[in-house]
């Protein structure tokens, strides 16, 4: 066992991920069992309209380390992350998405990389498992965020992270959209967090459709990015 990481809260935000979410819970549970750490697994269902809750209720009956947190209505990706962070009780918090594009068993790689001085172990995608236009947009977005917010991480948009919970206690995350990822990276940086980075795999999405590539969501995200930049970079507010 890595003596720096002895207890982990693993969680997944879930929105209409019925085909994948049950398997992800089993996968991360098996990985954490192999690591020999004290752990819990949490799923934050963000108002799913498919069979996600039914799947998760079955998981709840089978897995005593599992907890379900429900949003009655869809609040957004950032709101789901904030609920997951608030529900976590262990010293380290691991999260990744519920759509199956990341392999949660690779949490073992993150835990192996953590030291007593590390606050965040951040994944970076070896190859992005998306269509070409999403790869182009993703890289453009990353470079723009890195420049605007003076970030040093290799992959701002990689939602595969192991975070020391005491760091989460020192920052206030406010955004309800996907912009929370940039907010996290900037506020962690401002809090003096020590980062480590490791490569992880990213796979094509086999079920469902991304909720991001809609005009309304893109417009709102752009507004949120500019508002965040104005507050935390220009005005220096938290």
Contacts of 150 (CB under 8 A, 6+ apart): 186, 189, 233
Please state, in angstroms and as integers, the Cα–Cα distance from residue 156 to each residue in 31, 150, 179, 197, 200, following that order: 25, 11, 10, 11, 14
Q: What is the pLDDT of residues 87-132, one digit of tens each?
A: 999 999 999 999 999 999 999 999 999 999 999 999 999 988 667 6
Convert 81-143 into a string of H (helix), E (strand) and C (coil).
HHHHHHHCCCCEEEEECCCCCCCHHHHHHHHHHCCCCCCEEEEEECCCCCCHHHHHHHHHHHH
Q: What is the pLDDT of residues 186-206, one digit of tens each?
A: 999 999 999 999 999 999 887
Domain extent listing, the chain: 7-234
Report which of residues 238 and 122 the model is more confident about. Answer: 122
3-state secondary structure of 181: helix
7-234 domain in CATH 3.40.50.620?
no
Numbers of helices and strands, H then E, in the chain = 8, 7
Q: Token pair of 208, please?
A: 């469902």
Distance CA 86, CA 168 (A): 9
Which of 46-55, 170-179, 184-193, 203-212 bottoms out in mean pLDDT, i.e. has the lowest? Answer: 203-212
Report which of residues 152 and 168 the model is more confident about. Answer: 168
In the predicted model, what is the mean pLDDT of residues 122-143?
79
Classify residue 194 by its DSSP letter.
P
Check residue 234 and give its pLDDT: 78
User: Contact 35/112 with Cβ under 8 angstroms?
Assistant: no
Do strands 92-96 and 160-164 pair parallel, antiparallel, or not at all (unpaired)?
A: antiparallel
Task: For the chain, give the mean pLDDT.
Answer: 91
Q: Token pair of 17, please?
A: 């991920």
In the predicted model, what is the mean pLDDT of residues 38-42?
98
Check residue 193 and give its pLDDT: 97
Report which of residues 6 and 207 the model is more confident about. Answer: 6
pTM greater than 0.85: yes
Residue 211 has pLDDT above 60, yes or no: no
In the predicted model, what is the mean pLDDT of residues 130-148?
77
Check residue 221 and give its pLDDT: 75
148-166 core/surface letters (b: 16 or more CB in 10 A; e: else): ebebebbbbbbbbbbbbbe
Paired with 31 in beta bridges are none
Distance CA 28, CA 40 (A): 10
User: Contact 94/112 with Cβ under 8 angstroms?
Assistant: no
């Amino acid at each position: 066992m890595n003596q720096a990481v002895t207890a982990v809260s693993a969680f997944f935000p879930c929105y209409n991920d019925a085909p994948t979410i049950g398997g992800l819970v089993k996968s991360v549970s098996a990985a954490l069992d192999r690591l020999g750490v004290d752990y819990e697994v949490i799923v934050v269902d963000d108002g799913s309209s498919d069979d996600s809750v039914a799947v998760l209720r079955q998981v709840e009956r089978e897995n005593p380390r599992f907890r379900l947190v429900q949003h009655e209505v869809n609040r957004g990706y950032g709101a789901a992350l904030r609920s997951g962070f608030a529900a976590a009780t262990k010293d380290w918090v691991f999260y990744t998405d519920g759509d199956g594009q990341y392999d949660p068993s690779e949490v073992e790689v993150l835990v192996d990389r953590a030291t007593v001085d590390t606050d965040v172990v951040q994944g970076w995608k070896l190859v992005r498992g998306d269509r070409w236009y999403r790869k182009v947009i993703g890289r453009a977005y990353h470079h723009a965020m890195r420049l605007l917010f003076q970030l040093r991480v290799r992959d701002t948009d990689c939602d595969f992270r192991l975070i020391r919970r005491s760091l989460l206690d020192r920052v206030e995350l406010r955004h309800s959209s996907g912009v929370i990822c940039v907010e996290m990276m900037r506020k962690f940086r401002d809090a003096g967090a020590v980062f480590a980075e490791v490569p992880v795999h990213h796979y094509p999405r086999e079920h469902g459709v991304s909720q991001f590539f809609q005009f309304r969501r893109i417009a709102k995200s752009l507004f949120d990015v500019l508002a965040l930049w104005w507050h935390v970079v220009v005005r220096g507010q938290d």
